[in-house]
Amino acid sequence: MKKSFLITTIISILLIYNCHSYTIDVSGNDGNHGSHGDSYNTSSRSRWGTFSDNGNNGKHGGNAGYATEGENAGNIYANIESINEKQYRLWGTKVFPNKKKESFDIILEKNSPVKIKLLANGGRGGDGGNGGDGEGGQDGADGSDANEFSSGDNGGDGGDGGNGGNATPGKDGGDAGIIEININERDAHLLMNIDYENKPGNGGNKSRNGSGGDGGKRGDGGNSYSWTTESCYGSGEEKVCNRSSHYNSGGSDGRSGSSGSDGTGDTSAGSFGREGNFSILATTESGIKTYNEKYDLKVQDYYLETDDSDGIIEPGEKVYLKNLKIKNPTSMPSPKEKNLDITLQNTWYLTRNTEKVISHNSISAWNSDIIQTPIEFTIQNSARDTTNENLRFEGKIHLDNKLEEVEKGFSGFHGYDTFIIQNPIQITPLFKSKSLLPGEIMNVAWEIKNISKKSYGKDGEINRAIELGIELIEGDIKHSQVIFKDEKDNIQNITSVYTKAVKKLRPGEKVIIRGTLQVTSDSTPYSGANIRSQLQLGKLNQRNETMDIKNDKFIIRVATDYNPENHGDLLLVVNHNTTKEIVQSWQKLGKKLGMNIDIWDISNKGFLKLSQDVKKNTKLAQNIKLKTVIILNDEDILDGKKEKMINRYNFDKVEFINAALEYGINLYLLNENNQPLIITSKNTKQNDKKSFDSIGDFKNFLEEMEKQQENSGLRGINYTNCNCQINITEVHFFDSDYYALENALTELQEYLDKKFPEQQYQISLSRNHNSQNLKLGFKKTLHGTIIVKRDTDISDPLITQNYKNLKEKETGVITPENIFGLLLSLPFDQKISMLDKLLFYGKLTEHETIRELIRAIQVDLATEQAALRKNRISPTHTPKGMGRRLRKLHFLSQYKFKNAISVTSDKGKYIAELVAGHMAIVEAGLKWTDNYLPFWPTSDNLSDAASKELMNKFIDNVFKGKKVIDDNGELHKQSIFKNWQADSVFNNLVEDKISIYKEAIETLKAEHNKTERNADVYKFRNIFLKEQKAYFEQH
């Protein structure tokens, strides 16, 4: 068949290649952006020239260049027709934006993956150009000062700033073009191979005018000059002198330059181009019909149904997708006599049984068609991937489509719909794992619910059996020591599965199965058992044969009761997961350390609340004063959720910190992660608010609390000042100081950093401007409030966390890592008390234990040093004052040890190591100026002097007395001395060990590149926390 075209060249192409698109594009080009004007720095420019010179004017900013409009799109006139059963032809004319015409003639396979794209978009408008900023004027030079010989010169005038350049507007986008397609309605299915787009171009972005440059600053006039001269005549008693005053005036200030004006150009954005026109001219039996859009089909509705119609879809069940409604949301009918194949997409949990359904009908504009044939599919049993929780799985349905002959589908035919896969029967345990005292009884209950629309059970509409099975499955408790009774108080044997059936459960109905569990009075403490409950449901196709649909496991542990009269050294917090072997390991460790352990079973008590009374008028916190709480923070799995024990039982961290500060309690927390030891201390303690009228009043309050602190022990009463409000007011005649609140905040921060470097504060401000009139024209202005909250001290960590896994084996408890972690967590006075016991009552069979204890004491002393020496400026002015601030070292120096030891014994060597380690810490922070300027009271040299003085007192207490006990327990005489440096044997021991510690410090310096103030002290402290003990042991 021949056709005539406007140009003679006919392009006939047969596309039998594997590309996925063929594009016919007559879109307009984008417009050019306007160029920006030359721009300069608008700030005024300094001048360093001759006296009195005027400043130069700034340069004007450049004007912007003009943008161009987006180009209008051309037009596409296309025809589509079938050639034979396999091929079709696309031909027509494309008119480019420049009006040039070109023909196209393309032959394609109907079922080819190639899609035709017709594009006639308007070009984007160019952005407007920005005007350039004007240059700042040059400052005028200052005039020269007057002298005896001349008056001062005037200052130079500042130069004027340059004007800003004019901007140009953004330009309009180009118009969209015309796309027209001619087709016979019997070939309408071929439009599935066509995509089109004809959008107007966006307008160009708006611009901005250039800013004018600042005027140059005026030059100051020269200063005036005055002097006196004296003239005398005569001599002797007749000599007369006259004194004359002289004055040369200064110069006048110059004029400041004027700022340049901003540009005044049009800065508007361009507009969108005009809409184009898309039309399909379809030849029908009744004539040509015009449509302004291509037909489309979408899934509108359907419903899912199962064989038993109970409203539940469960694994293994057949499901039917019924009454599938397809909608045509366009003005053009879908193709006639062309089938639409619809297929359900398979997933890992869903398998279709119906390969496809077919829509045979053309759907008219805006109408729908319902497919009567259902789509059958099966939910795989693999969807029930766990029985540890009530099944609730979100499945997805996706329907694919394909129009026959062209083998292409509608892109927006169907997204994803969700449906729920679940069991019709659900169970909820109404109790949790628990620790029971010997002879104690606990209630157990399970709630079973029917969530379907039909009754279940052997007597139900759906006669599938419902059963609850209960079984004792494992544990180290004797089976005879666990007693289960049903709701009629009958003992049931659960060493094999005990089953309770539910004959009928109506839709939405619940039934509760109750019983009791008891451990006998002869049960071994911390033996335990695992009990499993199983919800069983009859199978879909074998209804009298059951399957497990939900399993729950519970732990019953035999507990011991907390005895408040025991007064142990440590409180071990356990739960139902804590085995007998773990408890025995901790008891063994306590014995090794010479410490008694009390046990608090949180799964039996149900809480860990230090404010709870444990006996008349005595709180738990009071009962464990100056002790350490050990929490085995293992994970507790209940209700299908995994949660840390202290979270599960509502451990109140703020309450613990309050009690810890008041009663000297520390916490040792063990988590199940492979991470290093961590010490934390920063936690705000909330108390009643205190209000102050000035920073001076607040300072007086802090210093008064500091005096009381000196007599209040290691953890003092001044934590009560943790939540204070300071009102910042000003009395003034003229304008108030706008920055008064910020200046007061700076003053307070500097004061606290200097005066209390070892303390931590959270400081914030709240602006609340309010003025009132006073007499004689004065005003009183409230600028706002400074809020100060006290944190725990840097040198007083309350919580030590150890992330080593100590749960699995007994050997995990008695390891150097855990021993060190526990010792580190002890309050400092408890550490020294233990040192007393190990040195004077033990025979040093536990060398590793005393070494870990020495390291833990050194960490505390190092942390205290680091806190007080955070700033170079000392918070006190004398060694004695510094000694009082070094509270832990001061406590050590005042401690009254039970007996004396020999300097040359193994015990004496450990004392030497403690002294040497601390003195190395002290010297690590000294600067060369501290050695050569000892009179200068820095925090470092005062700490050095105080440490030596306090260490002398400590050594005097350790080695005092006429009788000493050697390593074999025999008594010997020893002379008394007051200064450890005066004893050559002990002095040599200390000096040797100091050199080893200093060498370790140098090693640490090489590992760290930080140079901040006093960093060495912190680095040395970290050597203990990183468990780098091997270095010291080899020496």
Residue listed under structure tokens 């108390």: 687
pLDDT at 687 (0 to 100): 54
Q: Residue 8's pLDDT is what?
A: 31
User: Which of 990, 964, 988, 994 is closest to 976 using CA atoms?
Assistant: 964
Task: Name the more confident of 373 and 221.
Answer: 373
Distance CA 53, CA 68 (A): 47
- C-alpha 168/C-alpha 207 separation (Å) is 7
Question: For 579-588, 914-923, 1005-1014, which range has the lowest pLDDT when averaged over its residues?
Answer: 1005-1014
Query: Mean pLDDT lowest for which of 497-511, 849-863, 1015-1029?
Result: 1015-1029
Where does the pLDDT of residue 675 fall: very low under 50, low under 70, confident under 90, or very high at 90 and above? very low
Least Cα distance to 533 among 518, 519, 554 occurs for 554
Beta bridge partners of 231: 242
Signed CA dihedral, 601, 606, 607, 613: sign only: negative
Cβ-contact 139, 44 below 8 angstroms: yes
pLDDT at res. 977: 47
Please give the pLDDT value at position 1023: 46
CA distances from residue 864 to 716, 795, 921 in whole angstroms, order as listed: 15, 5, 11
Measure CA 215 to chain center: 49
Query: What pLDDT does 148 receive?
Result: 85
pLDDT of residue 184: 96
Q: Is the pLDDT of residue 820 over 70?
A: yes
The alpha-helical segments, DSSP class H, found in 251-310 are: none
CATH entry, 570-683, from 3.30.565, 3.40.50, 1.10.357, 2.60.40: 3.40.50
What percent of the chain has pLDDT above 70? 80
Of 999 and 238, the one with more pLDDT:
238
Contact by Cβ (8 Å): 152, 101: no
Among 41-45, 595-599, 708-712, 714-718, name the one with the lowest average pLDDT: 714-718
Higher pLDDT: 191 or 667? It is: 191
Alpha-helix runs per DSSP H in 644-715 = 645-648, 653-663, 695-709
Shortest CA distance to 661 belongs to which of 713, 699, 594? 713
pLDDT tens sequence across 523-573: 999 999 999 999 999 999 888 799 999 999 999 999 999 999 988 889 999
Cα–Cα dist 336/328, whole Å:
13
Q: Are 555 and 429 in contact (CB under 8 A)?
A: no
Q: The tokens 């103030």 sit on which residue? A: 1013
**Architecture field, domain 295-422:** Sandwich (2.60)
Q: Given the DSSP bridges, would you call strands 963-965 and 900-901 parallel, antiparallel or unpaired?
A: parallel
Query: Over 80: is that where the pLDDT of 676 sits?
Result: no
pLDDT band at 83 (very low <50, low <70, confident <90, very high): very high
Cβ–Cβ < 8 Å for 263, 131: yes
Q: What is the pLDDT of residue 1034?
A: 39
Query: Would the CATH topology of 295-422 be identical to that of 426-558?
Result: yes
Task: Check whether 723 has a pLDDT greater than 80.
Answer: no
For residues 720 and 8, give the distance between their C-alpha atoms in angstroms, rounded to a whole number: 99
Please give the pLDDT value at position 280. 97
Amino acid at 239: K
Ranges of H-type helices in 382-423? none
Region of residue 569 (phi > 0: left; psi between -120 and 50: alpha; otherwise: beta): alpha
Instruction: Return the top range by mean pLDDT from 217-221, 330-334, 808-812.
Output: 330-334
Structural tokens at position 332: 């053009």
Tokens of 889: 């070292």
Name the residue with higher pLDDT: 145 or 707: 145
- Residue 962's pLDDT band, with cuts at 50, 70 and 90, is very low
Cβ-contact 161, 42 below 8 angstroms: yes
**For residue 1023, what are its two tokens?**
């050597």
CB 724 within 8 A of CB 788: yes
**Whole-number Cα distances in Å, 254 to 219, 259, 486, 494:** 5, 16, 105, 105
**pLDDT digit string (tens) for 854-863?**
888 888 887 7
* Rounded distance between C-alpha atoms, residue 360 and residue 538, angstroms: 42
684 pLDDT tier (thresholds 50, 70, 90): very low
Q: What is the pLDDT of residues 18-30, one digit of tens each?
A: 346 789 999 999 9
Exposure string over 585-620, b if 16+ CB within 10 A, otherwise e: bbeebbeebebebbbbbbbbbeebbbeeebeeeebb
More confident of the two residues 493 and 953: 493
> So what's the pLDDT on residue 1009?
38
Share of the chain above pLDDT 90, in %: 44
Identify the pLDDT of residue 961.
46
Identify the sign of the CA torsion 578, 580, 581, 586: positive
Expressed in angstroms, the distance from the first to the final Cα of the chain is 104
Measured distance CA(872)–CA(754) in Å, rounded: 9
Residue 968's pLDDT is what? 61
The domain locations on the chain are 1-231+241-294, 295-422, 426-558, 570-683, 690-791, 827-1033
Tens digit of each residue's pLDDT (9 = 90 or more) over 437-454: 999 999 999 999 999 999
Least-confidence region, from 83-97, 179-193, 871-885: 871-885
| CATH code 3.40.50.10800 for 426-558 | no
Extract the tokens encoding 868.
């007080």
Task: Check residue 3 and give its pLDDT.
Answer: 41
The region of weakest confidence among 140-154, 799-813, 828-842 is 799-813
Q: Which residue has the tokens 């307070």?
A: 748
CA atoms of 410 and 407, how far apart (whole Å): 10
CB atoms within 10 A of CB 393: 17
Give the per-residue pLDDT at 956: 78
Res 712: pLDDT: 52
Which range, 359-363, 839-843, 907-911, 914-918, has the best average confidence (pLDDT)?
359-363
Q: At what angle do helices 887-894 and 828-840 cross, to 10 degrees?
A: 30
Give the tens place of pLDDT for each residue, 547-559.
999 999 999 999 9
Range name among 646-650, 712-716, 928-932, 998-1002 with the lowest pLDDT average: 928-932
Q: Is pLDDT at 134 greater than 60 in this prediction?
A: yes
pLDDT at 1025 over 50: no
pLDDT at 988 over 70: yes
Q: Whole-angstrom Cα distance, residue 794 to residue 730?
A: 35
Amino acid at the residue 200: P
CA pair distance 616, 34, nearest whole angstrom: 87
Question: What is the pLDDT averaged over residues 617-638?
Answer: 77
Most confident of 283-292, 386-395, 574-583: 283-292
Highest mean pLDDT among 335-344, 891-900, 1012-1021: 335-344
- What's the rounded Cα separation, in Å, for the pair 259 and 398? 68
Q: Cα(562)–Cα(482) distance, rounded to whole angstroms?
A: 22
**Contact in structure between 112 and 88 (CB atoms under 8 Å):** no
d(CA 445, CA 428): 9
Lowest mean pLDDT among 87-96, 508-517, 657-666, 829-838: 657-666
Mean pLDDT over residues 914-928, rounded?
72
> pTM score > 0.85 for this model?
no
Question: Where would I find the H helices in 900-983?
Answer: 906-924, 928-932, 939-959
Most confident of 550-554, 648-652, 918-922: 550-554
Confidence of residue 846 (pLDDT cuts 50, 70, 90): low
CATH class of 690-791: alpha beta
pLDDT band of 1013, cuts 50, 70, 90: very low
| Distance from C-alpha of 1000 to C-alpha of 983, rounded to nearest angstrom | 26
Least confident segment among 372-381, 591-600, 943-952: 943-952
pLDDT above 70 for 150: yes
Mean pLDDT, the chain, whole residue set: 82
